[in-house]
A and B are shown apart, each in its own frame.
Chain A
Amino acid sequence: MGLLTLGSPLSWSETKKYAEHIRKHGILQFIHLYNKLKDRKNDYLKWGDEVEYTLVHLDDEKKEARLLLRGHEILTELRRKEDESAENLVTLWRPEFAAYMVEGTPGRPYGGLISHFNMVEANMRARKEEVKALLGPNEHILCITAFPRIGCPLFTHPEALPDPHNSASRSLFYPDEAIYQGHPRFKTLARNIRERRGEKVAMNLPIFRDSKTPKPFVEDFSSLGDDGEAARASLPDHVYLDAMGFGMGCCCLQMTFQAQDITEARYLYDQLTPLTPIVLAMSAATPVFRGYLTDVDCRWSVISGSVDDRTREERGLEPLKNDRFVINKSRYDTIDSYLSECSAPFNDIPLVYDEELLQMLLDAGIDETLGRHMAHLFIRDPVVLYGEKVDIDDEEDSDHFENIQSTNWQNMRFKPPPPNSSIGWRIEFRPTEIQLTEFENAAFVVFVVLLTRVIATFKLNFLMPISQVDANLRTAQNRDAVLRERFHFRQDLISCDSPLQAQECCGGRPCEQEGAKVALMSIDEIVNGKVSLPSRPARPRQAGEFAGLIPLINSYLGTIEADVDTHCSIRQYLKFISLRASGKLRTTARWIRDFVTQHPLYQQDSVVSSAINYDLVKLMVALSEGDEHIPNFSYSARTKTVDSLPPSVLADNPRLKDDSVLQ
């Protein structure tokens, strides 16, 4: 959601004037935070998830599905309790970019007991029920990454027309009314990104070629008010998108964990990075944009382009004159470097960073790896700034740091503690596409968070050259990647002895890149493992075999004491993930494709018409309520999820009774 300070946002030209000031003070604020909090230790694991919801309106008479622009209204109601400072809230709510989105999190973090994993699904369900109580007839809440007809004519309810001449996005398709109205941040971002870039954002998604898809596929935008920009920016055989709303109006699922200390935070940040493409491929849910089937299954490249504020100079299209750097990526993309000093040999992407800022960080005693990470994030301009908040106390406030930090959107985020709180060093896992049901979303959350426990217990090492993670993330978005693609993945997961030891790697010797054998594997092999012979236990690993993420998790689960209900739920979550990885259950993206192409009204022309969309969205609502079951897609789950810890677990852990976590 990003930093939501109160106040009046400045225009782009005014914001730009303060860029240096914000950058410099942002770094000073980080230095201050770092020095004050670098030794902070938190004994207990705390973690949480964020679910972004989409509000839709279904007109059963006209057979139309539209995005419901009631986000601000609903949110005001939802936050009434928070505003009244109620304690021990079960859920918390935040706005997101679009007027049809709301974001919900658990009221307090989950804790470090294995039994906490059994609470995720119930809490997610509680969130959905809370919103449902505020919806009228014909209004529904859905967990979908992208409404298939965003940007098509009259895709919102109430209706709104795009205003290409005056709106914040200047979009041919996306009206300002679809942007969240309750806070100026989002419209300001859209406008400032466009003004900084010097032109509209432009995303071109390859269209899915079907038997009657026009060859070439070219759209005429003049009737929409195009002044020629869209004609130039759009590519033939691609679906053209021209607004921040197409990207940031997508929904996803995120997880945040608090590490024991900064060292563990940096270690887990690194270890989870190679897993981001794997999870993206398994959760793929976005095969349709602006009413067309594309050849891509994920939202990632669209969001990446939707906030790409790089000028033509920065994109290398013109020689550098006004701008300082050629920058390879949008500010929304994959990370460019690992964070632990131990991981430095795997940082094989040249980093663009601000020398002066790096020097400030080094002078303050921050190590080079972390310094470069920050100096790289801080090459960006602030894209939203509030007049009241330009001059702040660097020792009390971290707004300028958060400003740049929160407008760098990557697959992982390293989050220092906010000043004046007891919160520790955290990392955020950000690639996961949102799934239709609470069960599926809980499964992905539990899978990832469990993996962090497994990694820390067995001291696993997933590191490979970061350029290969980039390659994997591009591959993960391809149509049916989970079935058809192969991914670079480290073979020997146990080569590093104790990477958690500060400053020591691999029992004294540095982690050599030569030690990392990387091979191409399918998602099935990575997640479910690869054995050359049917299991003969206790046999040492043969060449070409791979343990598999789920077998490793099961090995961990066999070692700890899970109560029966938690274990029952986790088993089902892992079974579901396993079936997605092997392709026995279709991804949401594949199911959507099949639904569209098999629909009686589909014309084999890649078009998702309003009528098809209505049937699809209606079925999605039924699926999310558990009222429908689709073969090879739905997983019949009967988990034992609960919204509070059973008395036996509480009685067993008197020391962990802690109101700061959900119980």
Chain B
Amino acid sequence: MEFPQPVIPKCVSITIHSGNILHGNILTQNPRITPTEELKEAIAQTVQAWLCHVDQKTVEEATDVVCENKPCIEIYSDEDRTDLKLTVKLFLTSFDSKTFQNAVDSVFQHLNPGRIDRLLVAFPSPKDEEISLTHAMPVWKEVELLVNDERIISPGVCDFKSELFQQLFEAAEVKPKANQINLASCCVIPPELSEFANQNSILLLTHNDPAGNELLPSEQLQQVLSRNMHVWDGESWSLQWVARYTYMLEGRGIVRSKGFLLAAERPLRFGD
């Protein structure tokens, strides 16, 4: 598709929802695809699908756009939902608790899941220092509220080294139940972490995401949007967060759906 002019020239806030990407053959066409490329491909497919049915006139004027792949969005009945386990891994780009709140609200708004069975929080790597409890606590306090509200059942973190994990475990009122670490080290878990996990029934899970949890650098988001719309539609976006979710029939080991939800912002252009 060629775009003679920008599709979303006034948009400063965008939410992209891919719906179930298992239909789009991303994973099966190229099973070796990296998590980042998978997300980019999902965004591309979402934008292309969205452009097919969106009303150009309305969207030209919009400052807030929700770009979703409607046919792929699945809502489950209560009966189906009981058998499904929803896991959300939230890739944050800051330690700000308000952004975290917005992300969770957005997940509830777009997925309407009733509850998140497992939330895994992936904190960014701070510049020039190691991540510490001080970084993590504001968001974790929000997590605790959500667990007490039963909107999150089982909370966890990602790539926390043994010491930090223990600190969080001790400081928190609602304890983390899981720590997701990179696949590459799944056979060589540090013994302190392993022991602590055993003693406290903590699940050590695996992931294949890039180090530092930067799943989608903002420049790459900009590129995907530019490529799939008008070149100016991709400019200046700054990614706020990405939520990658899966619904799994856990008793049968079958993934029902996998998708992405993300939010990005950019400053106003041309002041019009």
Q: Which residues of A contact B (CB under 8 A)?
A: 43-45, 111-114, 260, 453, 456-460, 493-494, 529, 531, 535, 537-541, 547-548, 551-552, 554-556, 558-565, 567-568, 571-572, 638, 640, 646-649, 651-653, 656
Contacts and interface: CB of A to CB of B under 8 A. Distances in A.
B181 interface: yes
A562 B186 CA distance: 10
A459 B33 CA distance: 18
A560 B206 CA distance: 9
A559 B252 contact: no
B204 interface: yes
B22 A538 contact: no
Contacts of B35: 558
A560 B31 contact: no
Given A561-B87, A563-B205, A564-B189, A547 B252 contact: no
Interface stretch (B101-109, B124-132, B138-146, B243-251): B243-251
B268 interface: no
B189 A560 contact: no
Contacts of A648: 197-198, 201-204
Q: Which 9 pairs across A and B sit closest by C-beta, in order of nearness?
A: A551-B31, A44-B251, A555-B31, A538-B37, A537-B37, A568-B187, A112-B251, A45-B252, A453-B253
A547 B30 contact: yes
Nearest to B34: A537
A567 B206 contact: yes
B255 A540 contact: no
B23 to A, nearest CB: 8
Nearest to B27: A555
B204 A564 contact: yes
B25 interface: yes
Contacts of A113: 250-251, 253
A460 to B, nearest CB: 7
Nearest to B248: A560
A554 B205 CA distance: 15
Given A111-B251, A563-B206, A568-B187, A651 B201 contact: yes
Interface string B33-70: 11101101100000000000000000000000000000
A112 to B, nearest CB: 4
Given A44-B252, A535-B32, A555-B33, 8 more contacts: A453-B253, A493-B28, A494-B28, A537-B34, A547-B28, A560-B255, A564-B204, A656-B250
B1 interface: no
Interface residues of B, number: 47
A165 to B, nearest CB: 55
Contacts of B248: 560-561
B83 interface: yes
A558 B177 CA distance: 20
Nearest to B209: A558
Contacts of A260: 252
Quick one: which of A114, A459, A460, A648 has the most chain B CB within 10 A? A648
Contacts of A571: 183, 186-187
A531 B22 CA distance: 22
Nearest to B82: A655
Contacts of B183: 558, 567, 571
Contacts of B28: 458, 460, 493-494, 547, 552, 555
B29 interface: yes
Contacts of B202: 648
B203 A649 contact: yes
Interface in B166-218: 177-178, 180-181, 183, 186-187, 189, 197-198, 201-208
A111 B29 CA distance: 30
B54 to A, nearest CB: 24
B206 A538 contact: no
A571 B258 CA distance: 22
B246 to A, nearest CB: 6
Contact of A537 (B30, B87, B187): B30
Contacts of B38: 538
B253 A114 contact: yes
A453 B249 CA distance: 11
Contacts of B255: 457, 556, 559-560
B10 interface: no
A562 B203 CA distance: 10
A94 B253 CA distance: 29
Nearest to B26: A538
Contacts of A561: 87, 118, 180, 205-206, 248
Contacts of A651: 177, 201
Contact of B31 (A114, A456, A529): A529
B181 A564 contact: yes
Given A652-B154, A656-B250, A458 B27 contact: yes
B246 A560 contact: yes
Contacts of A547: 28-31
A652 B251 contact: no
Contacts of B207: 558
Contacts of A494: 25, 28-29
A547 B26 CA distance: 11
Interface hub of A459, A493, A560, A562 (most chain B Cβ within 10 A) = A560
Nearest to A43: B251
A565 B33 CA distance: 24
Contacts of B31: 529, 547-548, 551-552, 554-555
Given A538-B37, A539-B30, A564 B186 contact: yes
Given A494-B25, A537-B37, A555-B27, A562 B206 contact: yes
A649 B250 CA distance: 12
A421 to B, nearest CB: 19
Residue from B35, B83, B251 having most chain A Cβ neighbours under 10 A: B251
B203 A652 contact: yes
B213 to A, nearest CB: 16
A648 B183 CA distance: 19
A460 B189 CA distance: 34
Given A559-B27, A559-B255, A653-B250, A647 B201 contact: yes
Given A559-B27, A652-B177, A564 B253 contact: no
A458 B206 contact: no
Contacts of A541: 29-30
Nearest to B181: A564
A552 B32 CA distance: 8
A108 to B, nearest CB: 15
A114 B255 CA distance: 12
Contacts of A539: 30
B41 A538 contact: yes
Contacts of B30: 535, 537-541, 547
A314 B7 CA distance: 73
A537 to B, nearest CB: 4
Contacts of A563: 203-206
A559 B246 contact: yes
B252 A43 contact: yes
B253 A560 contact: yes
Contacts of A457: 22, 254-255
Nearest to A569: B187
Contacts of A656: 250-251
9 contacts: A114-B253, A539-B30, A555-B32, A555-B33, A567-B206, A571-B186, A648-B201, A648-B204, A652-B203
Contacts of A43: 83, 251-252
B187 A551 contact: no
A555 B21 CA distance: 13
B187 A45 contact: no
Given A568-B187, A571-B187, A651-B201, A558 B251 contact: no
A638 B253 contact: no
Contacts of B201: 647-648, 651
A563 B186 CA distance: 9
A447 to B, nearest CB: 14
A208 B97 CA distance: 73
A456 B256 CA distance: 9
